[in-house]
Each structure stands twice: as C-alpha cells, then as structure tokens.
Amino acid sequence: MKYVSTRQGKDGVTASQAIIRGIAPDGGLYVPETIPAVDMDFIRRLAAMSYRQRAVEVLGLYLEEFSREELEAIAEASYGDNFDHPAVAPLHVPDGDTAYLELWHGPTSAFKDMALQIMPRLLTASLRKNGEQRTVSILVATSGDTGKAALEGFRDVPGTRIMVFYPRDGVSQVQKLQMATQEGNNVNVVAVEGNFDDAQTGVKRIFGDRDFEKVLDGRGYFLSSANSINWGRLVPQIAYYFSAYCDMVNAGALKMGEKLDFCVPTGNFGNILAGWYAKRMGLPVGRFLCASNDNNVLTDFIATGVYDKNRPFRLTSSPSMDILVSSNLERLLYCLSGDADRVRDMMEKLSGQGRYDAGEDLRQAVQAEFTGGFCRDADAKAEIGRVWREQGYLMDTHTAVASRVLRDLREKEGAARPTVVVSTASPFKFGGAVLEALGAVTGETGPALVDELAAFTGLPAPKPLAGLGKKMVRFDKWVRKEDMERAVSEFLA
C-alpha cells in the first residue's frame, strides 16, 4: 500500500517513509492510496480480543512493512502498565443509548497518549527499515497537552531524543509542572519568553535552518516532529473506533451489524477523521457528530461548505479545542473529492485569505456523514454538573462539549440513536474548571486542585496527576526566543 500527498495524489511512498517525513514535500498530508476493507467476520473476531490485539489487527492493514511479531511487540510495549486500566480504552455504558469511550487512561491523562505512546516506536522502526543510522531528535512547540504526551511517548525510547518548548506564561500550572518534572534520560524541556506563537515560530525557524541541519548531521543527529498531522499519529486512533463498537456489542447495547453513531469533541479534526477511516473500512457507523466549543469554525463549515477562519479566537475551558485551522480536514477533502488540484487550491486560499468554499458537491458529501454542532463554554460546564448529579459520572471540559452537543441534537430530533461519546481527557486534568462546574468553591490553584477534586467527588485521581505536587522539578530553564537554537545545540552537543 502506498501513501500519497493530498496535494499531488501520485508518486506514493511507503508507510514507513510517510511516518518519517510527517508532512509531504509539497506541503500536503499523506493518505493511503486505497482504504483497506474489512467484513463483519473481521469485526466479530475483534470482539473476542484484547485492546492490544485489536490494535495489531487494525494497524497491520495499514502498515504492511511491519511484521505481525513486530506489531505485537510494539503494541505490547505501548499499551501495557503505562495505562491505568486493563482495557486500555474502556467503554463506560451508563444506559442503552449513550456510552463514553474513555481515551485518557494513559500516562498523561488525555487521549493524545493513545497515539503518542505508540508513534515513537513506529517511527524508530520506520527509521531502521529505511537504513537511518542517526539519532532522531524530536522538536516540539506546545501549548500544553501535546508536549507532555510527546515527552512521555519518547522518553527513553532508544535512538531518539526529544526537546519541548512551551510559552513561559502560556500554559497552566499543572501543565507546566507535568513537563518540568518529566523523567527520562533523552528529554529536555525549556520555557520560551513569549506566547505559543513565539515558541512555534522559533521551532519552525530551527527546522528551516540548513546550516544548523549540517552541524547536527555532523554530530549524528537529525530533527523531526511529532506533529498531529503525521500518519503515525492518526493510524493508531482508528483502532479504538473498532474497539468501542465491539465493546458496545459485548455490553449488549448494540447488535452486531447495527449502526452506531460517534460524537467527537474536535479541534484539529484528527480524532474524528480516524473514526471516518474506520467507517470507510467497513465499521457500521451511522454518522459522526463533530462537536466544537465557541471556536465553531467546523460547525459552520459542515453547515455551509465554507471554511472561514476570519473570526475571533476564543479562549475556553476546553483549550485543546481552541483551534481555528483544523489541519486534518485536508485529508477528508482529498478522500471525498479525489482531486488533489482542488485540495491544493483550497489550502492556498486558506493560507492566503483564511477562507475557502468547498463547493456544493463536497458540502453534500461531508453532510452525508458528518453533523456539526457546538456549545458555549457555560453550557459545557452546566453539562458536567448535570451528568454528575443525574448519573454520578464525571466528565472533563472537552468531553462535556460533546455530551452537550449530543443532548441538544437529540432534543431537536426528538429521538435517540445509540451513540458513543468520545471522552478525551480525565476530569482531573482540568480540575479547576470541573470543580467550578460542580459548584464547588475553591481557593486552591495548581496541583492542589487534583486533591481537591478527589476529595469533593470521592473519585480517585490518576496516579501521575495525584503525585505531581511531590515530584522533583528537573527542568526550570527559560530562554529568549532568539536563543532557542542555541538551546537545541547544547542539548544535542
């Protein structure tokens, strides 16, 4: 199976090459030339398997250069004790129609772990397959969650080093502490004076510096990114849609073969797109509900076919969905249109004017499979309180957006179809906002909020978050943005 760029549609590369490159040379994203098909027997077989085995089956269909033994070893190392639940991605089924797929039992308590625990191993195996001898050095600029998840994913993975830059005044106290206490012998974390854009611009400049590239090459290093547009981050996410379907059937909430809807809290469109791939492979899915917060650019896009990022950027209590450019949408546009020239044209308009019109045919194609919806920050918080009071189930601020959007839609339609709400973070990760949603008055800030939420709800906090206040700070340096490259050079001396 070859992977082609969404802006070229030809000259395919192998899966391992797509994972090494991340982004295609023409600026496009890699997609599989054809989507592998499965039948109901495949899904029936998965239903009897563990999460790890399900992941191996799904990954194997996309990563042909990887042997079964290789994928089994990778899945074993990626989805083991590092998750605090034996099911890895358990399904919570409170009633017949609604279930929550919990993707936050990994080491950083957010769904990015589902991909970032495995992607570093796919990357190093890909490098070996392509004869790369040098050490890959991952550079990340983060506004919070991705940096920590990447650090945990790459920590002590042989043949890799990772350096994360975060804006000194732009992440929460818990996020800062999570990164500053990072363990591992191949990691480095540095704050940058300025905001997220400063950090990101600095990292991009380093990636573009050809002289620096030569210097690093001489020392046996080369730079790469762990960006969410990398196919190696998307493909592991397909597995949990199959897994959730099987668990719905196993729980007696769905008949094998019956259609299931998914409601996904969306930012960069990566998570929900993985679900769409599962559907195209043959998973019986009715529709995808694309749930947004106040930054509802996708809701408008699905309704009108016009993508327009010229609008105010709103800070919400679901920060991982505060996004105006949903990069992975490009993959959907290519797969639905099959027309790379058209995709290139739309993406050029997006970077030039911040806006494009996908056209009537594409709008209809998107609407056939996706329904958009958004909710205000205050309504998402109210949803956390309601579900806690009525069902004793605690959600984080991102999951609450999806839960609320689903409920609003059901009220509008006057009917409920079996739906899985994709739950993307532990409520303890956003303790302050969750406590506020529950009506608890707190004078605490930072890691103390974790204990406070545990005391208020009687629920146990995930271990890595509970112990955060007591961990040793290993990284407390900050640099000016002009000095980022020097910091990298010192790290890779």
User: Any bridge partners for residue 189, and if so which?
Assistant: 164
Residue 84: CB minimum distance to ligand PLP, A: 17
Q: How many residues does the chain have?
A: 493
Give least dist CB 69 to ligand PLP, A. Answer: 30
- Looking at beta carbons only, is 161 or 233 nearer to ligand PLP? 233
Q: Which class for 277: exposed (0-12), middle (13-18), buried (19 or more C-beta within 10 A)?
A: buried
275 contacts ligand PLP (rule: CB under 6 A): no
Q: Cα separation of 53 and 1, whole Å?
A: 22
Judged by CB under 6 A, the residue of 54, 381, 398, 407 near ligand PLP is 398
Residue 353 CA, chain-centre distance (Å), reads 27
- The residue among 268 and 371 lying less far from ligand PLP, judged by its C-beta, is 268
Residue 13 structure tokens: 């590369």
Q: How many angstroms separate the CA atoms of 223 and 215, rounded?
A: 11
Which of 8, 320, 403, 457 touches ligand PLP (CB under 6 A)? Answer: 320
58 C-beta neighbours (distance < 10 Å), count = 28
Tell me if 153 contacts ligand PLP by CB under 6 A. Answer: no
Residue closer to ligand PLP by CB (options 22, 267) is 267
Q: Which two tokens stand for residue 411?
A: 């009220």
Cα–Cα distances (Å) from 217 to 66, 206, 407, 430, in that order, read 27, 14, 54, 41
**Amino acid letter, 473:** V
Cα–Cα separations (whole angstroms), residue 372 to 121, 320, 386, 396:
35, 18, 23, 20
* Beta-ladder partners of 166: 191
The reply to whether 293 sits near ligand PLP by the rule CB under 6 A is no
Please select the residue that binds ligand PLP; options are 57, 102, 113, 145, rule is CB under 6 A.
Answer: 145
- At its nearest, how many Å lie between ligand PLP and the CB of residue 335? 17
Q: Please choose, out of 93-101, 161-169, 261-269, 384-392, the segment that lies near ligand PLP by the rule CB under 6 A.
A: 261-269
Q: Which amino acid is at 52?
A: R
**152 near ligand PLP, rule: CB under 6 A:** no
Contacts to ligand PLP from residues 365-384, by CB under 6 A: none
- SS3 for 278? helix
Shortest Å, Cβ 124 to ligand PLP: 23
The site map against ligand PLP for 194-213 (x = CB under 6 A) is --------------------
For ligand PLP (CB under 6 A), the number of binding residues is 16
Q: Is 371 helix (H, G, I), strand (E, B) or coil?
A: strand
> Token digits for 209?
């510096």
**Near ligand PLP by CB under 6 A, which window of 203-211, 264-272, 295-303, 383-391?**
264-272
Of 9 and 464, the one with the shorter C-beta distance to ligand PLP is 464
Taking the complex as a whole, the smallest distance from the CB of residue 301 to ligand PLP amounts, in Å, to 14
Cα–Cα nearest to 280, from 370, 371, 400, 181 = 370
Q: Which is nearer to ligand PLP, 98 or 143 (CB)?
A: 143
Q: Applying CB under 6 A, which residues contact ligand PLP?
A: 110-112, 145, 265-271, 320-321, 398, 424-425
